[in-house]
Structure 1
Amino acid sequence: MLEKIREGSQGVIAKTILILVILSFAFAGVSSYLGSKTEVAAATVNGDEISKAELEQLYQNERNRLQQQLGEMFDTLASNDGYLKSVKQSVLERLVAQKLVDQAAANLNLTVSDAQVKQAILSEPAFQTDGHFDNDRFQAVLRQLGYQPAAFSESMRVDMTRRQLIEALIGSEFALKSEAKNIAEIQGQSRDIRYAIVDAEPYKANIAVTDAQVKEYYDQNTSQFVRPEQVSLDYVELNASDFANNIKVTAEDAKAYYDEHKNQYQTTEKRLPAHILIPFGDDEAKAKVKIEAIKKELDNGADFAELAKKDSQDTFSAKNGGKLDWYEQGVMDPAFDDALFKLKKGQVSGIVKTEFGFHLIKLLDEKPVETQQFEAVKADIEKELKQRKADDQFYSLQQKLADTSYEVPDTLEDAAKAVDAKVMHTALFSRANPPVSLNDPKVIKAAFSEQVLDQGMNSDVIELGNNHVIVLRVNEHKAAGTKSFDEVKSDIVARIKQDKANEQAKTKAQEYAASIKAGKSEVKLTAKSKVHRYDRELQPALIGKVFKLAKPNDAPTVGTVELPNGYAVVVLDKINAAEGINDSVISSLTQQLANNYSELDYRSLISYLKSKAEITYAEDANEINELQ
């Protein structure tokens, strides 16, 4: 056979076929090679590419971190594609910054030796067991991270080289204690003040607003009256809890379930032991002699509790005569457990050896297995059977809902009919004010998705909770735009009245301030001493004004400040020095300042490197991957 194959391969046709096969492989290889270069990078920094795969991996890591950190709040934020795009953009900027630092380090000929990389790996706590490098642990961690040892070592080298430059820069930063002390003393100052609030509300009664004024305000401030994008939805909802209310369970069904699962309604046997413990210590034989002597005393009629108090080295139980807690079988050490559950009430075991030492065990009391009567658990069984039947019904209908809404994507009527449900409707709502029953990030994201809005199709099945799903489609869609004059007229009237009332309150506050400066106060002032910068009893605007007023000399400093519903006149009587400024406060603030300076240095470095670099982003050509 081999001879025939060799002979056949020498023919003209065979050689021609072989050449074509070789060429096809060659062209396929060249095409593959060239094709691999056609993918546009996420960004290019001075000719070095940042791949989309690298960006996507780091982006997913950042998403996972934010999800763990923010919990349910992340789901709400993630329903807004703009938020996720900002996260992805920040991740890309981080990769660009790293690339710039790597290039700067290479230009400075910064290097890390193989020995330094090896030492860094050996000293990494994540790769150690009991303070020593563990190669098995090292390999396991690398497998979990998806690294080969050589690739990981190279990534360590890159990171260590990068850190050489960064640490050389930010590691030189420091803050003086005198500098920190000055800041602490300024931050810790308090103020003695007097103030009065001029409420704008009473002035509104005498203010008239004309239609011309309202129209003029509308025309000059149309940007304030933007209506967000809104949708009205049709939806079909399935909830297993609704099914349970309509399911009947007979007493016979409940009794049959009880008889079949009677073991679920039985208590577990429990035993209450006491023990005398003699640990092995440094001499197991000596401990054995000691426990044998105690056993002999018990056999001669000595009281177990008294011997436990005197000789047991389990100090916690010894003072209670060796008494422990109630235990189910299988909880204690196997040898202890086996001996305990062979005893009769009042009996003492022989010598029992466990990892803790030698024991003598006495059974003080026992609770036998008890079975709950059917009548006591009947209601719970009926409830469980209802829920089981409801769940079975839900799973069957859920599949029908998914199949029908997918097969007939341009209406929900067929899907509703398939699951014997009604198509429900909502009024128009925006992302910020969804109906309470549909206020779920997944619903909001689907409602404003391309599939539902642009393509006009039914959504996928959305899980709202345990055995609770919904499918929705758009009923009405209103794009973002400017609200009509009639829609906002009443709001504008209220705004103009508020503005004019505030102006009158401002005038009155200024009059009060002038009278105070002249020594003829026309308003009753409220005094408050030792007001701090973060005082929560006063309005933030008032606090801000207090700490902007000049230091009083021969006379108090007086000022006015606008509040949300009026104005306030403020009198600064005294500036009090900070209290409680000690070495601990100054040291903490010194460290914070040094950290802040280091952060500013790093940002300045990146800004400088960017100004000298040639950076292109795929986003400029809309080529970056869509968010996953």
Structure 2
Amino acid sequence: MFFDKLRAGAQGTTSKIILGLIILSFALAGVGSYVTRPVADVAAVVNGDEITAQALENAYRNERARLESQLGPQFSQLLGDPAYVEQIRRSVLEQMVEQRLLDQKVEELKLRASDEQVRNAIRNLPEFQQDGRFDNDRYQQLLARSGISPEQLRDSVRQDLSRQMLLNALAGSSFTLEAEAGWLDRLSRQQRDAQYVRLPLADFSDRVELSDEEVEAYYRQQPQQFQRPEQVKVNYLLLDAGAVSGVDIDEQAIEDYYQANLASYSRSEQRKVAHIMVNKGDEAQQKIQAIAERLAAGEAFAELARTESDDVFSGAKGGELDWMEQGTMDPAFDRAAFALNDVGELSEVVESEFGLHLITLLEIQPGQTRPLAEVRDSIAERLAQDEAANAFYAQEQRLAELAFEFPDSLDMAAQELGLEVKSTGYFSTQDAPAEINDPRVLSQAFSERLRQQGVNSDLIELDSRRAIVIHVTEHRPAAVRDFAEVRGQARELALTAKARELAAAGADALLAAWRNGEEQAWLEQHGLAVTELNGLTRESEEDPALLDALFAMPAPTEQPSLRSLALADGDQLVLKLNGVTTPEDTSELLAQIREGQSGLLGQREYQSLVEALKATGEIEYRRLTPQTDNNF
């Protein structure tokens, strides 16, 4: 969706975390909440303000799309778990509640972003940029494509910027003492000397011998490791838009579309102007008149802009502004700029909400319209796609009707629509056939309703070009596999478990020997050696688990500092910390650490505010999903 792109353009470093927070209205509500009429269902009420179930649904869909983009195929597997889907919905609703509480606080404090701030924010959005500058054509096209009016975008950006004012105040009020940052700086550069002995799991695996009785006993003690998942067999009909025949588009349809959408193929006149601005004040009128007189006397506009303009950013460029289109600037400034007829012509003094201006015209790009011949092919392609989409939609509706009217099988639907009924063997949610391996399909395939009632599923839209209806033919509940079926697997798991026990016992024995000063004899007896680690830092290239363990150990005193550590591969480490060296002086990282800690404190302040607003607010949770939701 359009605002998913806007949201993606706001990713960045710590300084942009707050910006990420303030655009939650786009990320959560999405475009749909602006263009879709709300339904009566209410998901939550926050201090009297309703959050509709439809708004929650729009937010959920956007969050799901974001997670799918981030996690890839793994996300599809996660969606097979209804509890995970519900967790996402609850998380999204909670974020919407928090956002509403923040908006109410902003309104209470009467925080409001100015028109200039809103304009600058919109003009700086990367989606509206072309070659590093604001492109009004792109702006208009993207708004039209997304179904959003300029006023709706303006109001949403103003709301976000107003919220940013509150969040920036929280972040700006947080600080870290230099002494605290110095302690963290020295701690981060601490070095440790240590020794360790690795006890390989393989050494203990070779010593393990298990009888059949012991293997079977392990199987009975660990039934969860030998579980066969719930499985089903299904029949299904797959409707694919790729199989829908194309249509020819006549010339009149192309002409009609072109005329109806002429604005999309037109570019309005654009102007580049320069200005000299004087901030409002007691002497502003005298100052701007003096500059006007110097211009009339022949002084260069660009030079006066550099030396006299209070707009230092444009002043550095001789007063030059970006290309502008009528209706995008302050109304008074806009009227004056477009009243100029000739390049070099100078306006009278213009008063805007920002100050007093003198404006000169630098360049004009006339408006123009692309001819039909130039865009004919793209229009024909779009109309053909629309026709194909309409044909696919009609087949979708008919498939849904037939599946409902003849619920006991898919044969009638297949016969009328010319589709093939496909069948699967037994599968679980982990190994579903690729063609139906979609969380929405799996959710229905393993639902009690289809299994108990023996009916067809609802129509499931896999994407904009594919839809499916399924019918569960057989079901096999989850159960523990027979011992004979998993005997080999049980033996391997039992051997590994026993070897891990022996390795842990070996580590305990070495710890005891080390405490008693008898480690050398123990190591020689078992053919093991000590590895020395000197000058270790938290960034050393060692196993992260090893580093975490060593830097969590207390410094040695009269007693040696010892501990054991089980690695992920089953090996055991026995660690001995010999010394800890902490620098006395701070480093050049002190300022960066202090800034980072202040940022973390700012985030905690933000979270504290949210929790306080929740604690004192009246929040009522009603519905997690809309009544008409059949897809999730």
TM range (shorter): 0.5 to 0.7
Deviations 1:570-628 (A, max 9, x none): 22334466899953x44444333222222221111111221222211113899695666
Distance 1:104 1:235, change over 3 A: closer
Distance 1:164 1:424, change over 3 A: closer
Distance 1:405 1:580 in 2: 79
Residue 563 of structure 2 corresponds to 559
TM-score, normalization by structure 2: 0.53
Cα drift, residue 195 of structure 1: 1.5
Aligned pair partner of 1:126 in 117, 123, 127: 123
Structure 1 residue 170 corresponds to structure 2 residue 174: no
Distance 2:538 2:464 in 1: 48
Residue 476 of structure 1 corresponds to 474
In the TM superposition, 1:113-152 aligns within 5 A as: 116-126=113-123, 143=144, 146-148=147-149
CA contact (8 A) 1:460 1:471 kept: yes
CA contact (8 A) 2:188 2:538 kept: yes
CA contact (8 A) 1:207 1:500 kept: no
Cα drift, residue 96 of structure 1: 0.8
Aligned pair partner of 1:434 in 429, 432, 435: 432
What secondary structure, in the 3-state scheme, does the structure 1 residue paired with 2:603 have? helix
Distance 1:53 1:560 in 2: 54
CA contact (8 A) 1:123 1:133 kept: no
Deviations 1:407-431 (A, max 9, x none): 865346778899797854323x321
Distance 1:204 1:446, change over 3 A: same
Deviations 1:23-55 (A, max 9, x none): xxxxxxxxxxxxx99934210112221122332
CA contact (8 A) 2:216 2:490 kept: no
Distance 2:422 2:625 in 1: 43
In the TM superposition, 1:235-384 aligns within 5 A as: none
Deviations 1:526-566 (A, max 9, x none): 4143555566754x554443333222357753322334535
2:554 is matched by which residue type in structure 1? A
Aligned pair partner of 1:597 in 598, 601, 610: 601
Cα drift, residue 203 of structure 1: 4.3
Deviations 1:337-360 (A, max 9, x none): xxxxxxxxxxxxxxxxxxxxxxxx
Aligned pair partner of 2:196 in 194, 216, 229: 194
Cα drift, residue 452 of structure 1: 5.1
What secondary structure, in the 3-state scheme, does the structure 1 residue paired with 2:63 have? helix
CA contact (8 A) 2:90 2:624 kept: no
RMSD value, Cα: 5.2
Distance 1:140 1:443, change over 3 A: closer
Cα drift, residue 569 of structure 1: 1.9
Cα drift, residue 66 of structure 1: 3.7
Cα drift, residue 65 of structure 1: 3.6
Residue 611 of structure 2 corresponds to 607
CA contact (8 A) 1:236 1:424 kept: no
Residue 63 of structure 2 corresponds to 62
1:614 is matched by which residue type in structure 2? E
Distance 1:211 1:121, change over 3 A: closer
1:516 is matched by which residue type in structure 2? W
Cα drift, residue 64 of structure 1: 3.9
What secondary structure, in the 3-state scheme, does the structure 1 residue paired with 2:474 have? strand
Distance 1:432 1:190, change over 3 A: farther
Distance 1:611 1:439, change over 3 A: same
Distance 1:172 1:623, change over 3 A: farther
Residue 447 of structure 1 corresponds to 445
Structure 1 residue 229 corresponds to structure 2 residue 234: no
Cα drift, residue 73 of structure 1: 4.9
TM-score, normalization by structure 1: 0.53
Distance 1:472 1:423, change over 3 A: same
Deviations 1:492-523 (A, max 9, x none): 77666655543433332222222233333211
Percent of counterpart pairs with the same letter? Answer: 30
Residue 425 of structure 1 corresponds to 424
Distance 1:190 1:230, change over 3 A: farther
In the TM superposition, 1:7-156 aligns within 5 A as: 39-71=40-72, 73-106=74-107, 109-112=108-111, 116-126=113-123, 143=144, 146-148=147-149, 154-156=155-157
Distance 1:459 1:189, change over 3 A: farther
Cα drift, residue 180 of structure 1: 4.0
Distance 1:212 1:450 in 2: 34
Deviations 1:3-26 (A, max 9, x none): xxxxxxxxxxxxxxxxxxxxxxxx
2:119 is matched by which residue type in structure 1? L
Distance 2:77 2:211 in 1: 43
Aligned pair partner of 1:511 in 485, 509, 518: 509
Deviations 1:193-212 (A, max 9, x none): 22121534234316786599
CA contact (8 A) 1:43 1:50 kept: yes
Computing the radius of gyration from Cα coordinates, the structure with the larger value is: 1
Distance 1:557 1:217, change over 3 A: same
Distance 2:95 2:86 in 1: 14
Aligned pair partner of 2:531 in 527, 534, 542: 527
